[in-house]
Structure 1
Amino acid sequence: MVPVQSVEDQMKAVLDCVVTEDKMPTDLSTTLKLFINKLDECSRSSIKRCKERSLEEAGQLLRKIPVKQLQCLEERLLLPLIRLLVAMQMQMFNIASRKLDQMLQHLAEVNRLLVFREIQRCLCTIVGKDQALSIGDLQRACMFLEDSSIGRELWREACPSLLDKVAELFPVILEQEGLRNGPLCYQAVKVCLQVFQLLPGEVAPLVWEKEQGSLAVQSILQSLMDIILGQCSNRDTRLLAGTTVAMLINTVLEGGEGGAAAWSLLQVTHSEPWRLCVGGLQVQCSPRSQDGVDRLAVSRGLLTCCRRGILVSQVDNTGVCHRMLMLTDISSSFVLMEFSSANLENVVSDSRFSLLLQTCLLLGGLFPLVSALCEEKLDCHYYVFEGTVKPNQCVYMCFCKCKRNESKKYLSIKSTFIKTYV
């Protein structure tokens, strides 16, 4: 196995290549030296703002070099430069990592295959290893998902492999108290969240096509529900898991199936074991802790992640979920399509509209859940208050054209927040 070079060693190697290259034009050589010096400044600095400034200046220098001039560089000069940027990106996150991604995109205009090949090699070191994923592997996977446009594009192809590795990791984590309550579990949940959020097109067929339901995704869903329901005692991880399950539901292409899954998730209020159905996936849920965090995680996740079509979905007497209310945005005005022949005052007083308000997911399911949480003595009131704001924002977005006095009677669900602020 070839030893991995440090960023400092790679920096020196790239600079040596530039210095010893006789055929390189003087202006190109000078600019590249300045560029590498700025990268070196960034690498040595421990102050975030200084790092970002050095990277910004490095990016400006690189963009000054015409693509045609960079295309004259041989692969033996270009490849070490690409590897250096990727190595630095794997050590940094957020703004700094995105600035490095912009530089790699610029070099991709010079040699797209070379950049893609190098990043793909890094992804293979994550999903191609025989051992379980480490926290470093998970952090790098997150970085290539969130902060690397090229990495995200390559993850689309490797999405099943990544999900398989995460599915293998969760049982190992949940078996040991130290792991399930620590940063490794949180990071594993975060990877799932980013995959579901950023690669919905790749995830959706694994969930919603009943003939192709993925065992890996089902295993992940089972682990996420175990975390939400109390197998993990870390509150932040449980809340993140709630958001992740809601994001999985949000990958649905048609609101009806997503609404049915969201309604199924509201069984979290049950004290007895229950079954969660999300598309073609089914998992058994056994409550372990009746501390309210499970219900908070679910309600917060659904309100934060789900599209409007899911939030206004309704379950009929047969248990079939469908969209009773179709909302569209025309010139910033929400129109109630099903009642388009009536004026708005008549819509609000229509008995069918009253029934909808009582039975749609947002008002018939989530409002009562959040209301009950408000009245309980929990040690996480900040999150509960945040949960009360979300449904009211959703109601405003969905029903903002209803007269205040008329709609008020339909929103008079027993809620501390509603009583106080409406």
Structure 2
Amino acid sequence: MEICTIMTRLGYGEMMRRWRVEKYRENDRLFALSCKRIRNMTAITAGSKAEGLTCYLESDWDILLVLNDVFCVEADIIALNFSDSIDVFRMDTMDARVYPGHCILLQEGLAPRVRYTIITKALCDNGNGDVLLSSSLLLDEFSALPLTNDEYVEHHERAGPSLPETLRDVLHVDKVIALRCYCPSILQRWADRRRKWPSQNIVQKVVSLGAFVTPVGFKGSDYKHMEWRICFNTGEAELVNNLNDTQAKVYVILKMILRDIIKPNNKEITSYVLKNIILWQAENTPQTEFHSRSLLYWLHDGLKKLRTAIEKKRLCYYMIPERNLMEACGMHDYQQHKWVADITDMLEEGPNVFLRLKKLRKAIVASPEPMMWFSKKRMELEMLRLEYRNRYMQSTDEHGKVRYSEFMLKKIENRIFDVINEVKVVAILNGSSINELPDIGHRMLM
């Protein structure tokens, strides 16, 4: 129960989660309008930011850039009323070369008036008279596009399907191109499962949110340059947003364990694996069993499931169970043995495992009153930063110029300065050598 309270003070409580989700959704609406004006795209925040489970600078900001005039449909969909200006591709998931959870995109029709140049350049013949959309070619073409000329944005070398950027030297963003897809049979198979969670209303909402395909082939496939991965980013965010307070905190602590103790070098185990463990855990257990007194029990249960996944190199994808998230993950035998032993040690430690997590350990040993004061300042600063970002976008005209004199923008900016300055004064009084305001602000939000 004490750990639950500390997690709330660290910014992982229900109120803060909801605030982040709301502000990132608002940002999506503003950012999507900006992208639409430039390249007819919709921007969607994904991952931990969409779930409200990370602080402003704690992890990368994952953004899907969805091409608006391209649509993919399942192979057995007979007819859909699409505009002539939309490119339609048929999803082939039955090809023996395609790994579960992936597909090949066959061109269904040509949009005579509106076409993306990058789509045209990524089309190729499969030798059987069919025209395919190559995931690797599209990614190459998309990577060459100048998505922004903002002087405060530093672009980095492509990492897999993502285009990494750093905003103002502190905020790391990963952008991934995506196409919308209509796959009712896949979603219906998921919806028809017997489950204890979520409610039927949420199940139907997840189904209504649909799916995407991203240009990511299965690592072990000889055909990966043509494969597309089927994703449910918005649906999964909705599911995580419907986890209760204890479930969300177990998920965050598992991510801390991954970062601080397991420390994979090349994403052999990812936070996405942990998310799937939590979702399976939630689906098979009544919500009433997840409460602050049972946090350690469910953390241990999650660790046991992670240990089994590492031992057997198998974990079923929550949305499409036929896809094994651990297959071709690049894990070596020595890593496998070490991580199984590390998790076993953690399970034997009981509650002492919390002391091995840097962020939690600092909070546990801190004096309660200063901790409470700092917690309030840190959360206020994050709320101001998120609000400022949205106001900044609202104050930007169609030419990219910002009205810095806008009243609310100045008010928020002044309050940000005041909050950081208050922390600076207290830090100096306590012997800290950090006195640069930007540095203090960045550290508070990590």
Q: TM-score, normalised by structure 1?
A: 0.28
Greater per-residue helix proportion: 1
Greater C-alpha Rg = 1
Q: Which has the higher strand share?
A: 2
**TM-score between both structures, scaled by the size of structure 2:** 0.27
